[in-house]
Structure 1
């Protein structure tokens, strides 16, 4: 199978490329040539820039499938589809759970959950925010389905975790739990939480291509329901440390934005993975994901994180 990956050298794309190569697929990469330049030296690379609309490198060649990991705006996706024309078989678009409406959703919701209204006015990825990111993905989904019909596949991941994760959302808790001691949690420890191992997501994507399967699929994990408190305890157990989880309430305006894995909308962390599991989504144990992230984080020297409390902020809250 010949697969074109639009954005295959960062976190999720990297995992997809690795899994595709494992199955013997012939993979071509398209990107700006700035990320992961040392990865996959033997693979053909097409250079372009989706932010500027440069998709000229896609005008030659043909592939059995394309995996769009780096499409965030409908014009990006539309320009890629225009450049590729009919020279691709299946178009698999990696979307997001942010496409769904935020209210009126019950636990166990599936892929038929109502989506938000599409947004098309945002011109640059840097301008996306919490109000426009999901709706822009809705517009992308709509355009892929309109163009490719039964040859379109939509994968909607929840929070993705694993080695090479640039978001720090899961890494924060892995590193914090490894330090042990009293852990400040600005949430209810019973809050449900869903994360998907990047390698499980990659396996689902490649299996859907191998099976030539269309439709929409939730990519969520772990296989067994868990809570944020349990996740922190699991990370500590893997690291050989002990933690005491202390729920805290930061003063108004003092909670860092997008605090790792904290969500007030609990049903959004209880979506059904049944359809994806039936299609081949694996179930890596949370302990394995945590252990691999811990080892990766330590190997890279534990650089400063961009999310969560600083040690000083946490200590101040624990003292309060």
Structure 2
């Protein structure tokens, strides 16, 4: 059973499970991906409105919960399913961790933030409540299922069908080549995980019936933001030159730019030992580029517009050193 299996991460998990011959059931609102996975059993419900009646019958060897963000969602799903599942795997987040006093390469035992159970009347999540809400969800899953619980904490996920535009911005921008405005140090380390690698880990953990907590992070070879842009350019066969520019207001949320990113680097050792695959970053970039072009390159919400970037580069001329990224050939 996949709770939320037609959008991005859930979609990748379903594809991987079907590839392994699993008998998959999907639970969702039925509003997206209606043409996906023909012949796969579908149950319709809505976590936002508490419609879980479709889960009252049946039994599953495992449940992969991709769509639980607040304790109410997870609690109602578990209340309805009860003991009619073998293992319950919850997709959590690195946002559960404390934000200070943590060094690079931290493992799954890093101290977490305090849980929050009541977000607000609308259950809207923001930078202050998202992580603590996921902490509360983790605690509830562990309390309910104990040794039958598995927690997976992904890093930034990239791949085809990504709705966030985060990695897609750099893939599309590097494909245009030329001078690229970068409001960060190109040496800033980054971690991104291919959605298909995350799915591979999830399915492997369920097939092996493994309990525990696992970081899903990649790529296998450490990289930097400058290196990521270089890889994206190489995948597109272009030449690019990154030019460091001053951060604009609000650029803390610029795609993959985080002032405290070194402290957010997580160790993938436990997940690798459990079977986490390692798709090369260049392959991820090439596949995202192909998917983005196939869908017609619609407007994206992240990063600079062409006009904004041109203005920043004009101001930076003669003032900022350039970091060469020659990636053609």
- Please tell me the TM-score bracket, short chain as reference: over 0.9
1:277 lines up with 2:277 in the alignment: no
Match of 2:137 among 127, 140, 162: 140
Distance 1:126 1:175, change over 3 A: farther
Q: Give the match's secondary structure for 2:166.
A: coil
Displacement after TM superposition at 1:268 (Å)? 4.0
Name which of structure 1's ranges 300-309 and 266-275 shifts more when overlaid on structure 2.
Answer: 266-275
Give the Cα–Cα distance (whole angstroms) in 1 for the partners of residues 122 and 5 of structure 2: 18
Match of 1:122 among 108, 113, 119: 119
Match of 1:171 among 149, 168, 171: 168
1:74 lines up with 2:71 in the alignment: yes
Equivalent runs, 1:24-173 vs 2, <5 Å: 24-123=21-120, 127-173=124-170
Equivalent runs, 1:212-227 vs 2, <5 Å: 212-227=209-224
1:18 lines up with 2:15 in the alignment: yes
Q: Which residue of 2 aligns with 1:317?
A: 312
Q: Deviations over 1:44-98 (max 9, x none)?
A: 1110000111111110100000000000000110000000011001000000000
**Count of residues paired in the alignment:** 315
Q: TM-score, normalised by structure 1?
A: 0.97
Moved over 4 A (4+): 123-126
Q: Give the match's secondary structure for 2:24.
A: strand
Which runs of no fewer than 5 residues in structure 2 stay unpaired? Answer: 316-329
Q: Which residue of 1 aligns with 2:324?
A: none
Give the Cα–Cα distance (whole angstroms) in 1 for the partners of residues 120 and 25 of structure 2: 27
Which runs of no fewer than 5 residues in structure 1 stay unpaired? Answer: none
8 A contact 1:204–1:281 mirrored in 2: yes
Q: Deviations over 1:150-208 (max 9, x none)?
A: 00000000000000000000000000000000000000000000000000000000000
Q: TM-score, normalised by structure 2?
A: 0.94
Q: Deviations over 1:212-240 (max 9, x none)?
A: 00000000000011000000011001101
Match of 1:290 among 285, 298, 302: 285
